[in-house]
């Protein structure tokens, strides 16, 4: 029975990594679609959401089956609980990538509209956070997981800067409200993806150490 549990957990590990890789790819596609006003690429992201949703459901059922059949305890139980939570965060990242992609057609139609918001730095940082949170999972890297958590505040600062920029542009260009709102919403979606990447990193911390890191401050500079 223990051997079968070990094999089921190994299969679960492959499933969550596979889902993470897929979600990361779709997010990168959505960012590229916004950057290049690529409606075809945006459509591919939207149409691919069903695959992510189905994988999320399958993985959850796999976790529940292991819990029911094997009644794991200690580290194995903690691992499965963490996987369930990561599974949900990855599905939400997929949804947010779709939200970004859905903004592309309206923004692309307004070729006369200046792109008031430069997403490059923010999108790059969020992509790094997602990639590093998944690397922390694959490598069981506690220090890397803490580093991801430490980056969340920086993304929040970027989002607040865009809020101020948005308020200024609305006053100066009231006729461009709808596409400008879509542009601004992209920054909100990016900020939420960073939050979910942070959640994944916090679940890696819980998986490895048993420490519940959510809603708790930490001096990340002390992590070697």
Mean pLDDT of the chain, nearest integer = 88
Contact 82, 206 (CB under 8 A): yes
- In terms of pTM, does the model score above 0.85? yes
Tracing tokens 């400008």 back to the chain, one arrives at 180
pLDDT tops 90 at residue 87: yes
Per-residue pLDDT tens for 171-189? 776 666 777 788 889 999 9
Contact 204, 145 (CB under 8 A): yes
Per-residue pLDDT tens for 29-77? 999 999 888 999 999 999 999 999 999 999 999 999 999 988 888 889 9
SS (H, E, C) the chain: CHHHHHHHHHHHHHHHHHHHHHHHHHHHHHHHHHHHCCHHHHHHHHHCHHHHHHHHHHHHHHHHHHHHHHCCCHHHHHHHHHHHHHHHHHHHHHHHHHHHHHHHHHHHHCCCCCCCCCCHHHHHHHHHHHHHHHHHHHHCCHHHHHHHHHHHHHHHHHHHHHHHHHHHHHHHCHHHHHHHHHHHHHHHHHHHHHHHHHHHHHHHHHHHHCCCCCCCCCCHHHCC
Whole-Å CA distances, 66 to 1, 72, 80: 11, 8, 8
121 half-sphere exposure, CB direction, 13 A CA radius: 11
pLDDT tops 80 at residue 213: no
The closest of 144, 2, 184, 126 to 10, measured between CA atoms, is 2
Residue 38, pLDDT score: 94
What is the C-alpha separation between 219 and 184, in angstroms, rounded? 32
For the domain 2-222, what is the CATH superfamily, name and number?
Answer: Phosphate transport system protein phou homolog 2; domain 2 (1.20.58.220)
Q: Domain coordinates of the chain in residue numbers?
A: 2-222
């Amino acid at each position: 029975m223990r051997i079968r549990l070990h094999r089921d957990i190994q299969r679960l590990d492959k499933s969550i990594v596979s889902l993470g890789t897929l979600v990361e790819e779709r997010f990168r596609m959505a960012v590229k679609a916004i950057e290049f006003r690529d409606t075809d690429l945006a459509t591919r992201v939207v149409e691919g959401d069903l695959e992510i949703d189905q994988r999320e459901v399958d993985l959850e059922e796999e976790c529940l089956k292991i819990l029911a059949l094997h009644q794991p305890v200690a580290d194995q139980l903690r691992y499965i609980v963490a996987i369930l939570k990561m599974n949900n965060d990855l599905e939400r990242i997929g949804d947010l990538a779709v939200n970004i992609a859905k903004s592309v057609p309206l923004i692309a139609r307004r070729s006369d509209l200046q792109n008031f918001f430069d997403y490059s730095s923010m999108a790059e940082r969020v992509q790094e956070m997602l990639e590093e949170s998944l690397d922390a999972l694959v490598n069981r890297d506690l220090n890397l997981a803490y580093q991801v958590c430490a980056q969340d505040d920086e993304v929040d600062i970027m989002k607040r800067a865009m809020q101020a920029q948005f308020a200024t542009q609305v006053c100066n260009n009231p006729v461009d409200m709808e596409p400008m709102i879509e542009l601004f919403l992209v920054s909100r979606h990016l900020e939420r993806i960073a939050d979910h990447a942070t959640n994944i990193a916090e679940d890696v911390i819980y998986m490895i150490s048993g420490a519940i890191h959510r809603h708790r401050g930490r001096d990340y500079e002390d992590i070697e």
